[in-house]
């Protein structure tokens, strides 16, 4: 990719794919944008009128909007914290030689293959249910009052469920990074008098930054649009305690039949996601440069 010639060739060959992707993205985006300026109610088909920015005004000025916004951020940050820290710890553990390593590694990856709806239902009914759930049984066995996770700590419960799903992803990426850690560097540090913890701080963590960046960037994209887990567990409730932006858009368009308002919410979500992306790239994107 060094000469001007090869660069032109590369662009030319990339262009069909880029064009296709652009179309793929631009059509739904254009339609959403168009709907967001209409008064479009599913109960009154064929009566759409152009209303300017009204949909945006009403979407932002409903009380649920701000709580949805903060819920979205808490959800993303919470899951990121748990998966990155938990992922590093698990990866360190799995990197040690122990008996049955292969099987344990496969087991650790397993949650990633479970569909979000299924895993959320399993968590809801088998673990967090205040009557039949495992946690309730455990609490009763210890003589404690069972805790109703999904009604008393709905957002925290959803964070837990989503983090459980994403932990394998983070672990896997961080484990491969750990395995590429140079052994001679470790030995050199050992001879230089660095203990286990110092080697971790001065060698392992810098070595992992690139992978941590990848984990954060990829996960953020998906976590901004968590939906299935909320739908099957709390339905955004109680009240709006576990409603994120995605769920609010769904509620607006399909529960309130207000497609115009929902589209406006969708556009706002896109803008917010872009702000987050720019922010992230500014902050940690330089870690990706070789």
Partner 1 sequence: MGKITLTQVRKSFGEVDVIPGIDLTIDEGEFVVFVGPSGCGKSTLLRLIAGLEDTSGGVISIDGMDATDLPPAKRRLAMVFQSYALYPHMSVRKNIAFPLKMAGMDAAEQEKRVNHAARILNLGNYLDRRPGQLSGGQRQRVAIGRAIVREPAAFLFDEPLSNLDAALRVSMRQEISELHQTLKTTMIYVTHDQVEAMTMADKIVVLNAGRIEQVGSPMELYRNPANLFVAGFIGSPKMNLIEGPEAARHNATTIGIRPEHIDIGGDGPWQGVVGLSEHLGSDTFLKVNAGPLGTLTVRASGEVDIHHGDSIRMTPQVGKLLRFGADGKALK
Which one of residues 46, 63, 100, 193 is an interface residue with partner 1 (CB under 8 A)?
193
Compute CA distances 197 → 78, 193, 194, 200, whole Å.
Answer: 26, 11, 8, 5
C-alpha angle 227-160-263 in degrees, rounded to nearest 5: 20
Rounded to an integer, what distance in angstroms lies between the CA atom of residue 49 and that of residue 40? 7
Q: Which of 53, 202 has the CB closer to partner 1? A: 202
| Residues 201-240 close enough to bind partner 1 by CB under 8 A | 202-203, 206-207
**Cβ burial, residue 235 (10 Å; 0-12/13-18/19+):** middle
Rounded to an integer, what distance in angstroms lies between the CA atom of residue 105 and that of residue 115? 19
Stretch of 41-49, 112-120, 184-192, 244-252 contacting partner 1, by CB under 8 A? 184-192
Q: Which of 99, 113 has the CB closer to partner 1? A: 99
Q: Which of 39, 210 has the CB closer to partner 1? A: 210
**Under 8 Å CB-to-CB from 162, ≥6 apart: which residues?**
75, 79, 223, 226, 229
- The Cβ of residue 15 has, within 10 Å, a number of other Cβ atoms equal to 11
Site string for partner 1, 85-124 (x = CB under 8 A): ----------------------------------------
Compute CA distances 219 → 42, 65, 164, 212, whole Å.
Answer: 34, 23, 13, 10
Q: Which of 118, 190 has the CB closer to partner 1? A: 190
Which one of residues 194, 214, 241, 284 is an interface residue with partner 1 (CB under 8 A)?
194
- The Cβ of residue 195 has, within 10 Å, a number of other Cβ atoms equal to 10
> Closest distance between partner 1 and the C-beta of residue 199, in Å?
10
28 contributes a contact to partner 1 by CB under 8 A: no
Count of residues near partner 1 by CB under 8 A: 16
Q: Which of 139, 194 has the CB closer to partner 1? A: 194
> Closest distance between partner 1 and the C-beta of residue 204, in Å?
10
Q: Which of 10, 187 has the CB closer to partner 1? A: 187
Contacting residues toward partner 1, per CB under 8 A: 182, 184-185, 187-194, 198, 202-203, 206-207
């Amino acid at each position: 990719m060094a000469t001007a010639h090869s660069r032109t060739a590369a662009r030319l060959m990339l262009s069909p794919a880029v064009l296709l992707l652009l179309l793929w993205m631009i059509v739904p985006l254009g339609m959403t944008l168009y709907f967001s300026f209409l008064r479009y109610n599913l109960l009154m088909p064929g009566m759409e009128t152009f209303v300017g920015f009204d949909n945006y005004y009403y979407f932002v000025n409903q009380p649920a909007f701000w709580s949805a916004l903060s819920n979205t951020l808490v959800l993303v940050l919470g899951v990121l914290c748990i998966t990155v820290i938990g992922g590093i710890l698990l990866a360190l553990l799995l990197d040690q030689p122990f008996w049955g390593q292969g099987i344990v590694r496969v087991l650790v990856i397993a949650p990633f293959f479970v569909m979000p709806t299924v895993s959320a239902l399993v968590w809801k009914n088998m673990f967090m249910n205040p009557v039949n759930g495992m946690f309730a049984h455990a609490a009763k066995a210890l003589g404690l009052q069972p805790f109703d996770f999904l009604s008393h700590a709905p957002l925290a419960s959803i964070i837990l469920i989503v983090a459980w799903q994403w932990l394998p992803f983070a672990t896997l990426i961080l484990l491969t990074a750990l395995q590429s850690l140079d052994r001679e560097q470790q030995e050199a540090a050992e001879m230089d008098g660095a203990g286990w913890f110092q080697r971790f701080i001065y060698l392992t963590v810098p070595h992992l930054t690139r992978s941590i960046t990848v984990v954060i960037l990829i996960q953020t994209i998906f976590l901004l649009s968590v939906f299935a887990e909320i739908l099957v567990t709390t339905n955004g409730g109680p009240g709006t305690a576990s409603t994120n932006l995605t769920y609010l858009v769904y509620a607006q368009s399909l529960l309130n039949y207000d497609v115009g308002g929902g589209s406006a919410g969708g556009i706002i979500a896109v803008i917010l996601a872009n702000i987050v992306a720019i922010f992230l790239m500014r902050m940690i994107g330089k870690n990706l440069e070789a």
